[in-house]
């Protein structure tokens, strides 16, 4: 059997968008992923569904696997002829034990490559508005292990030289050793007024920074209940934070937002929220499923030429339609004599990805908006035939409105929606603990499924605001006994995020 290959990939400090292009390419090609505790779940979504996932995370209290077992695991999987990605937080060679792992691979003659990652030593300070070097303040910086191997008899850190020999000091994994670090620096001559910052969860939405100086940083971090993972930075560059901070002073910084979309769709909304500083909690209320033996849908597509109009009321409907079209060995040429309508910008963008620009998009992005717009079109006449592919639980407001206007309407279930029970259990836990600032609803079905999951129990929403993508979704939430605080101006994800941001700007 041909020996496989191991890629040692640095995932970056926390923000999944900081992984390198090559690192992401390795993930997509891997047969086996062996990953650490601090890896963002969104990176794991890039992995093939058939890839084997092995968690080997470590914390101070618990090691899933000892390091020597991880080393042996890498060798064993590669000898099976598989492509292995060892996914490590930060950079594998910066206090990450990547050197030990590659030594083992080299000893066993296992081919490997190292894909560097962005180290938290520079990324966390940058996200906190602290440059590790600055022409006027610091020309050098040193990265130091804040927690050395406990089996070492003597420290390898020369504290006397370190204390005064470099401008900026960056300590990794040093939260619990902060008092010792401070004592050593003061003992060997670092002035007590030297600025210090501790950056917890660097580059993540819940990043938190505590600042002080050598004289008081221990007391300040104890008062703020600091916890790992954290980066400690010592030096005059810390003074620049108040002027340069950019990541944690955005309108949604620190806000926890419950993203109740279909499991397949959470990433777009979550990314937009994260870009504005929020911490998205991806808890899909529904999961989308194909309807395997959907002869009715197939028949409608095969006979698409019998219709005058094809109208999509969701991006999911677009995706389901074209997936089915391609399965039937057909392409967009089948739609050459039919007009196509969409309900809003998100649905339109999904259609445009298929290379089609809609013939009709209403000014008001609702079913009633579609009806009003069609009614006022010069070419409208009774007897036009419509095909409406939608979810199995969709209402019939649009279909009934078209029939009242004299149209012939064929409704067909394009996909099935089912509750995501495991995710909803966690949502209940977060809500009952009052840890959610905003609950987003992007369709009536997400409201209905989340409410149904509580089985008559009342939401605890003393803190959470309710944000809805459109009037129909808002009406469903209101009927469920929820007070809608935020309503998007148009039925699109970007508009929903903008509305949430504007709401909290007004509160500031």
Please return the burial class of 7, using the count of CB atoms within 10 Å of its CB with bins 0-12, 13-18 and 19+.
buried
Answer yes or no: are the C-beta atoms of 193 and 213 closer than 8 Å.
yes
Nearest to 346 by CA among 419, 268, 457, 233: 268
CA end-to-end distance (rounded Å), the chain:
64
The CA distances from residue 403 to 297, 307, 319, 361, 414, in Å, are 20, 14, 26, 20, 20
φ/ψ of 21, rounded to 5, equals -60, -45
How far, in whole angstroms, is CA 197 from its chain's centroid?
27
Q: Which of 15, 91, 167, 173 is catalytic?
A: 173
Dist CA 286 CA 272 (whole Å): 20
279 token code pair: 């911490």
Q: Is the dihedral of CA 47, 103, 114, 1 positive or negative?
A: negative
Q: Which of 31, 36, 91, 167 is catalytic?
A: 36
Q: Is the dihedral of CA 89, 90, 95, 96 positive or negative?
A: positive
CB-based contacts of 428-436 (< 8 A; 24+ apart in sequence): 428/453, 428/454, 428/457, 430/256, 430/258, 430/281, 430/283, 431/258, 431/459, 431/460, 431/461, 431/464, 432/460, 434/460, 434/462, 434/463, 435/256, 436/256, 436/257, 436/258, 436/281, 436/461, 436/463, 436/464
371 token code pair: 């009806």
Dist CA 279 CA 254 (whole Å): 6
Nearest to 88 by CA among 123, 50, 58, 132: 58
284 token code pair: 């899909």
Angle at the Cα of 319 (from 343 to 27), degrees rounded to 5?
A: 130
Q: Which of 58, 180, 184, 239 is catalytic?
A: 58
Dist CA 75 CA 87 (whole Å): 15
Answer yes or no: are the C-beta atoms of 8 and 88 closer than 8 Å.
yes
E strand or H helix at 3: none
What residue has token string 């409208």?
A: 380
Three state DSSP letters for 445-474: HHHHHHHHHCCCCCCCCCCCEEEECCHHHH
Does 36 participate in catalysis according to the annotation? Answer: yes
Dist CA 73 CA 79 (whole Å): 10
Instruction: Tell me whether the omega of the peptide bond preceding residue 229 falls within 30 degrees of 0, making it cis.
Output: yes
Does 243 participate in catalysis according to the annotation? Answer: no
Nearest to 367 by CA among 312, 293, 430, 298: 312
Which residues are the active-site residues?
36, 58, 173
């Amino acid at each position: 059997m041909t020996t496989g290959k191991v890629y040692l990939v640095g995932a970056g400090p926390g923000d999944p968008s900081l992984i390198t292009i090559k690192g992401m390419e390795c993930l997509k090609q891997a047969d086996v992923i062996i990953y650490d505790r601090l890896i963002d779940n969104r990176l794991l979504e890039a992995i093939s569904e058939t890839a084997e996932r092995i968690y080997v995370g470590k914390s101070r209290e618990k090691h899933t696997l000892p390091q020597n077992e991880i080393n042996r695991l890498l060798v064993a999987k590669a000898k099976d002829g598989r492509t292995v990605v060892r996914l490590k937080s930060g950079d594998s060679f910066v206090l990450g034990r990547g050197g030990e792992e590659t030594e083992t691979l080299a000893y066993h003659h296992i081919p490997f490559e190292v894909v560097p990652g962005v180290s938290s030593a520079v990324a966390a300070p940058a996200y906190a508005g602290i440059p590790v070097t600055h022409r006027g303040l610091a020309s050098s910086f040193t990265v130091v292990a804040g927690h050395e191997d406990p089996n070492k008899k003597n420290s390898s850190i020369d504290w006397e030289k370190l204390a005064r020999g470099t401008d900026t000091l960056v300590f990794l994994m040093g939260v619990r050793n902060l008092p010792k670090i401070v004592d050593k620096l003061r003992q060997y001559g670092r002035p007590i007024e030297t600025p210090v910052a501790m950056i917890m969860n660097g580059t993540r939405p819940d990043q938190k920074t505590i600042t002080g100086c050598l004289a008081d940083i221990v007391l300040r971090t104890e008062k703020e209940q600091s916890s790992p993972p954290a980066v400690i930075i010592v030096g005059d560059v810390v003074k620049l934070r108040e002027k340069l901070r950019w990541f944690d002073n955005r309108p949604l910084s620190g806000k926890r937002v419950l993203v109740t979309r279909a499991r397949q769709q959470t990433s777009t909304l979550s990314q937009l929220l994260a870009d504005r500083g929020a911490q998205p909690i991806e808890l899909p209320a529904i999961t989308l499923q194909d309807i395997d033996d959907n002869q009715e849908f197939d028949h409608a597509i095969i006979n698409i030429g019998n219709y005058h109009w094809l109208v999509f009321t969701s991006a999911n409907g677009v995706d389901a339609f074209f997936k089915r079209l391609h399965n039937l060995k057909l392409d967009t040429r089948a739609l050459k004599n039919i007009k196509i309508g969409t309900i809003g910008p998100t649905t339109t963008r999904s259609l445009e990805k298929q290379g089609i620009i809609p013939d009709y998009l209403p000014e008001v992005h609702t079913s009633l908006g579609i009806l009003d717009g069609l009614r006022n079109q010069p070419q409208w006449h009774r007897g036009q035939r419509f095909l409406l592919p939608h979810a199995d639980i969709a209402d019939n407001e649009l279909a009934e409105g078209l029939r009242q206007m004299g149209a012939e309407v064929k409704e067909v279930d394009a996909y099935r929606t089912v509750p995501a029970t495991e995710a909803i259990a966690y949502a209940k836990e977060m809500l009952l603990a009052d840890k959610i600032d905003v609950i987003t609803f992007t369709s009536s079905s997400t409201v209905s499924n989340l409410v149904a999951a509580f089985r008559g129990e009342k939401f605890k929403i003393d803190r959470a605001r309710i944000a809805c993508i459109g009037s129909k979704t808002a009406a469903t939430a209101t009927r469920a006994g929820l007070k809608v605080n935020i309503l998007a101006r148009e039925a699109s994800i970007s508009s929903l995020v903008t509305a949430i941001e504007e709401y909290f700007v007004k509160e500031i």
